[in-house]
């Protein structure tokens, strides 16, 4: 079947477009997703359909979110005859993903635009009750941060917030030459699965606030980072040394501090 060559479509910088063309990488991604018949797949940023074309014959239907209206005719052409392709031409940051749960738990996939990847991830985290799992192509640096462990240089706000709601695992690296045009950085595939047992966080907004406060001042010690929230002695009573820095705390430590502050009546605003 004839398809549009990625080199014939002019990538738009404002959409962060890089079209995957490496067939071996495409096959590896699809095998990682392990698509099954009747899976409720939602794809973000299908582009010319490199992944879509592999999934559609298995599921017989797929819903995709694509912002670039100019690429949609080429996407339709490339997927013609493979199954039912439902296209939502809109900004993925504005989508109510619960509307897609009518056919069962969502399996979300996509080559996320690097310029909106973090806010888009946080948007999707709001819908985890409807999501089975997610497989995304992201900038390698972002994936390393998502999966980082305490004490590492990559460990930060994105690590804590992601791992508070999902299991995060980097599957493999995708080199720049796998794309047209080639980006200046390596990419990576990340697997995200909502936590089977939710963390006991009393006030999630407060939790998010103290994590943000901490990593906005990651070079400072905890006693200085949270000096307006909690005394050093109180931190010590929670089993947390006040001389540590934000990257030294585990996810459980952040939960412990947030719940303690919630018991004291604090909110994200004070």
Residue 179 pLDDT exceeds 80: yes
Q: Over range 3-29, report the average pLDDT.
A: 71
Long-range CB pairs of 56-59 (<8 Å, 24+ gap) are 56/82, 56/83, 56/85, 57/82, 57/83, 59/35, 59/83
Mean pLDDT of the residues in the chain: 92
C-alpha torsion 215→220→225→227, nearest 10: 180
Residue 72 pLDDT exceeds 80: yes
Residue 206: φ, ψ to 5°: -65, -40
Q: DSSP label at 132?
A: E
3-state SS assignment for residue 191: strand
Residue 12 pLDDT exceeds 60: no
The percent of residues above 90 in pLDDT, for the chain, comes to 85
Q: Over range 50-73, report the average pLDDT.
A: 95
Q: Over range 182-198, report the average pLDDT.
A: 94
Of the candidates 202, 248, 195, 185, which has an alpha carbon nearest to the alpha carbon of residue 16? 185
Q: DSSP label at 149?
A: P
Q: Over range 89-97, report the average pLDDT.
A: 96
- What is the model's pLDDT at position 268? 87
Q: Over range 13-37, report the average pLDDT.
A: 86
- What is the model's pLDDT at position 3? 58
- Name the pLDDT band for 16 (thresholds 50, 70, 90): low
Portions of the chain given CATH number 3.40.50.150: 6-194
CA angle 225, 230, 231 (to 5 degrees): 100
* CATH code for residues 6-194: 3.40.50.150
* CATH code for residues 204-263: 1.10.8.100
- pLDDT tens digit sequence for 46-59: 999 999 999 999 99
Q: Over range 92-119, report the average pLDDT.
A: 93
Burial of 212 (0-12, 13-18, 19+ CB in 10 A): middle
Q: Over range 164-174, report the average pLDDT.
A: 97
Portions of the chain given CATH number 1.10.8.100: 204-263
C-alpha torsion 36→175→114→215, nearest 10: 100
- pLDDT tens digit sequence for 127-146: 999 999 999 999 999 999 99
- What is the model's pLDDT at position 8? 57
Q: Which residues contact 263 (CB under 8 A, 6 or more apart)?
A: 202
């Amino acid at each position: 079947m004839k398809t549009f060559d990625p080199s014939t479509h002019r990538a738009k910088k404002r959409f962060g477009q890089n079209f995957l063309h490496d067939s071996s990488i495409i096959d590896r991604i699809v095998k990682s997703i392990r698509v099954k018949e009747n899976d409720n797949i939602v794809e973000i940023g299908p582009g010319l359909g490199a992944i879509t074309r592999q999934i559609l014959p298995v599921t017989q239907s797929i819903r995709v979110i694509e912002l670039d209206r100019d690429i949609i005719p080429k996407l339709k052409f490339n997927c013609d005859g493979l199954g039912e392709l439902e296209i939502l031409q809109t900004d993925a940051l504005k989508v109510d993903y619960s509307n897609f749960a009518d056919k069962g738990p969502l399996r979300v996939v996509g080559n996320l635009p690097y310029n909106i990847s973090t806010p888009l991830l946080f948007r999707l985290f709001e819908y985890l009750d409807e999501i089975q799992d997610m497989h995304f192509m992201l900038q390698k640096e972002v994936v390393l941060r998502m999966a980082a462990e305490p004490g590492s240089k990559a460990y930060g706000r994105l690590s804590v917030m992601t791992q508070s709601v999902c299991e995060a695992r980097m599957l493999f690296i995708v080199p720049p030459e796998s794309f047209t045009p080639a980006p200046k950085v390596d990419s990576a595939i990340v697997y995200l699965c909502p936590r089977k047992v939710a963390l006991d966080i009393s006030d999630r907004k407060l939790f998010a606030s103290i994590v943000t406060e901490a990593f906005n001042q990651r070079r400072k010690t905890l006693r200085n980072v949270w000096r307006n929230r909690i005394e050093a002695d109180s931190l010590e009573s929670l089993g947390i040394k006040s001389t540590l820095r934000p990257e030294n705390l585990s996810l459980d430590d952040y939960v412990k501090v947030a719940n303690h502050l919630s018991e004291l009546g604090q909110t994200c605003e004070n």
